[in-house]
Structure 1
C-alpha cells in the first residue's frame, strides 16, 4: 500500500472516531430543522406578532358592541345670609344665618351604534383578512427558518469535509518533504525539490487555518438558527419527501401553496374591504343612548330624584371638507397596489422555483462528473508518484497532481452542499417545506387556536396561551 493510501486511511479512521463526542448523539438534518422550528427567537417573535394582530379583530368588533359609562359627582355649597334688624347708624345687621348643602349624583350611560354605513362590518372583515395574510407571512417565515437550518447544517458538513481533506493534504505533504530530504541525502534529488515541498506544506497549513475559521463561522450561524451547538454533523442527502416530479409540477404547486402568494391575495382582500369601509363614511348612521341618574341631597337641599332618558340619533353626512372623498380614492389606489403585488409575487415565485430546479439539476450532474474526476486524478497522482520514484517525474509534478486531487475533492464537497440546499430551496419555493410534509418530530404551531380564543372575547386583561 502506498504512503498516500495509508495516510488517507488513517486520517479517515481518526475522523470517524472523533466525529461524535463521547456520550453525545449525532444530530440529523431533520432534528436540526425541528429544533430551529421550536427554538428560533425570530420565529417565536413572529408568532407573538401574529397573536397581537389577532386582537385587531376583537378591536374592530368593539364597534358593534355597547359602550357603558358610569358617572358620579358631588357638589358642596354654603350660603351665609344676614338676618335681623340693621343698625340705623352703621347699616350692619345684628344677625346672620348659614345654609350648607351637599348634592351628589351618580348614574350610568349606555350607547349602542345601530348602523354606521357598514363601516364596522367591513372593518371587521378587513381585520380578519389581515389575520389570514399574516398567517401566511408567518408560514413563509417558518419555511425560511427551516431552509436556513438546512443551509447551516449543509455548510458545516461541507466545511468539515474540507477541513478533513486539507488535514490529509498536510499529512501527504509532510511525507513529500521527508521523501525529498531523503532523496537529497542520497544524491537523487535537489534542494529545489525540498524547497518546493516545504513551500507547498506552508501554503497547506494556511489553507487549513482558513478552513477551520470557515467551519467555526458556520457553527456559529448554526447555533444562532437552531439554538444548540452542532454535534456529529453528517453529510446530508437531498430532499426526498414532497419533492415535485417535474418543473411544471413544481410551478403548479407553488402557485397554489406558496405563502407569499397567498399572503398577497389576502392583503388584496383586506384592501377591498378597506374601500367598502371608506365608502361607508358617506352613508347615514343611527345610534341609541340611554342613561339613568340618581341625585342625592342633604336635608336642607332639594329633594332626591331619579331620572332616565333614551335618545335616538340619526346623522346624515352631507359634506366633511372633502376628506371622505380623498380617503375613498386613497383606499382604491391601495387596492390596485395590492392586486399588482399579487402578480409580482406569482412571477417571483415562478422565477425562484425555476432557479432552484436548475441549480438542483446542475449540482446533481456536477456530483457525478466530479466523482469521475477524483477517480482519474487519484490514479494520475499514484502514477506520477511512481514515476517520480524512478526519476521520470519531479517533485513539482507530484505536487501539481496532488493539488488536482485536492481541488476536485473540495469541489465535490461544495456541489454536494449545493445539491442539498437547492433541493430544499425548491421545496421552500413551492411552499412544501413544512413540519408536516417533512415529518419533523416537533409540535406544529397552530395560529388558529389563539385566534379562536380571542376573536369574540369581551373582557379580560390576561393574554391567551395558545401553545
Structure 2
C-alpha cells in the first residue's frame, strides 16, 4: 500500500546515520558580516561611544595660540601745539604672539554631561547587543521559514502523487464498472487542488529563500532539515517567576528604557546648572613687538588667574529648560514602566509557549500516527467495499495536513525557546549552536 511504503521510507530516514550539518551556524556567520541592520547598529554604537571622550574634553585643559602680524605705512603731516607741522612718511610693523591655557575648575553642566555621556555609551552598547539578539532570532526565523516552505512543497508533491494514483485507480474502477463517475470527479477535483497547492508552495519557498538571502547577502543556501525527533525540553528553571526576575535584570529593552530614563534625569541637572557659577583657571603668555611706529618696543606679558562667571538673569530661559527637562524625564519614566509591563507579559507568554509548544509537538506526532492508521483503514475499506474513494481522499488530506502541522510545530517550539531567552536577556550564539546540532544530513 501507499501508506506502508511511506512509513517504511520514514523509518529508513530515521534509522540512517546522521551528522550535524552546521548549516545554521554557517548562515549566521554570513549574516554577521552581511546583515545591513546589524551593520547600521554597529556604526550607530561606534558613533555614540564618541560622546564620552567629547564630554571629557570639556574638563581637560584647553590650550590655544594665536599669532598676529601687521605691516602699515603712514604718510601725512603731524604737529604739536606751538610747533610747526612736519611731514611724516614712515613704515611700521607689529607682531603679537598669544598662548592661553584654560582649565575648568567648576562647571556643573560639564560634569553632568560627562556622566550623561557614560550612560549614552552604555545605551549604545545595549542597543547593539539587542541588534545581535535580534539577528539570532531573525536568522533562525528565516531559516526555519525556508525549511517549513521546503517541507510544504515536499508534502504538496507527495500529496499530489498520492491523489494522482488515487485518480488513476478511480478511473480504472469506473472503467470496469466497480465505481461511479462521482468517484472519478471527486479525485479529479482533489488532484486539481493539489496542483494549485504545489504551485503556491513553490512560490512560498522562493519567497522564503529570498527572505534568507536578504539577511545573509548570499544564496542559495542549503535547507538542511531537523532530525525527525527533537528533544522536547521544558524551561529550566521550571518557574516563570524566576524567569521574570532574570528578565527584569537583563532584558535589553528594559535596560535600554532604564538608561534612557537615567539620561533624561541627568538632563535635569544639566538644565539646573544654568543657575550655578562657572569657575576656571587661566594662564596666558603674550609676546608683543612693534617696530618703526610712533612707539617702538617689545614686551612680554604673563598672566595667571581665576575667572568666575555667575549668571544673574537669563530672561527665565533656565527655569524653562529645567521644566522641560523634568517633563522629558517623566516621559521616559512612563515609557520605562510601559516597557517593564510589556517585558513581564512577553516573558510569561514565552514561558507558556515553550511548555505548550512541547505538548503540541507530542500531540501532533501522535496525530500523524493516528492519521496514518486512519488512511490505512480507509484504503483497506475501499478494497473490501466498506469505504468510498472520497473517504480515502479525505484520509490522505488529513494525513498530509497533520504532517505539515507537526513539522511546523517543531520549528515553533524551537523558536519559542529562543524567544524566552531573548525576553530574559540571555540569548546568545550558544543557543543557536544547540539548535544547529539538531540539523542533520545523511552520514
Of 232, 235, 240, the residue aligned with 2:226 is 235
CA pair 304-240 structure 1, distance change in 2 beyond 3 A:
farther
State the partner residue of 2:2: 3
1:393 counterpart SS class: coil
TM-score normalized with structure 1 length: 0.81
Q: Deviations over 1:366-400 (max 9, x none)?
A: 22222222222222212222222233332222211
Question: Contact (CA 8 Å) 1:255, 1:261: kept in 2 or not?
Answer: yes
- Structure 2 stretches lacking a partner, 5+ long: 79-84, 435-443
Correspondence 1:65-144 to 2 at 5 A? 65-81=60-76, 98-116=89-107, 118-144=108-134
Matched, 1:341 2:335: yes
Q: Is the 8 A contact 1:243 1:427 kept in 2?
A: no
Does the 8 Å CA contact 1:238/1:424 hold for their aligned counterparts?
no
- 1:25-424 equivalences under 5 Å are 26-81=21-76, 98-116=89-107, 118-229=108-219, 230-235=221-226, 237=230, 243-299=236-292, 302-310=295-303, 311-424=305-418
Secondary structure of the residue aligned to 1:424 is helix
Change (3 A) 1:372 1:244: same
User: Considering only aligned residues, what root-mean-square deviation do their CA atoms show, in Å?
Assistant: 3.3
Q: Is the CA contact (8 Å cut-off) linking 2:90 and 2:292 kept in structure 1?
A: no
Instruction: Report the TM-score when normalising by structure 2.
Output: 0.85
**Aligned partner of residue 58 in structure 2, secondary structure:** helix
Separation in 2 of the partners of 1:349 and 1:375? 39
- Alignment: residue pair count: 424
Q: Per-residue CA shift, 1:264-287, capped at 9, x if unaligned?
A: 222232223222222222112222
Q: How far apart are the structure 2 equivalents of 1:48 and 1:166?
A: 44
Go from structure 1 to structure 2 and tell me whether the alpha carbon gap of 1:417 and 1:106 turns closer, same or farther (over 3 Å shift).
same
Where structure 1 has 5 or more consecutive residues not aligned to the other structure, the ranges are 84-92, 441-467
Matched, 1:435 2:429: yes
Give, in whole Å, the separation in 1 of the partners of 2:299 and 2:72. 21
Aligned pair in 2 of structure 1 residues 238, 328: CA closer, same or farther (>3 Å)? farther
Whole-Å separation in 2 of the counterparts to 1:368 and 1:265? 40
Query: What's the secondary structure of 1:281's corresponding residue?
Result: helix
Q: CA deviation at 1:123?
A: 1.0
Q: Distance in 2 between matches of 1:145 and 1:283?
A: 47
Please say which of residues 374-383 and 293-302 is displaced more in the overlay.
Answer: 293-302
Contact in 2 for aligned 1:158/1:414 (Cα 8 Å): yes
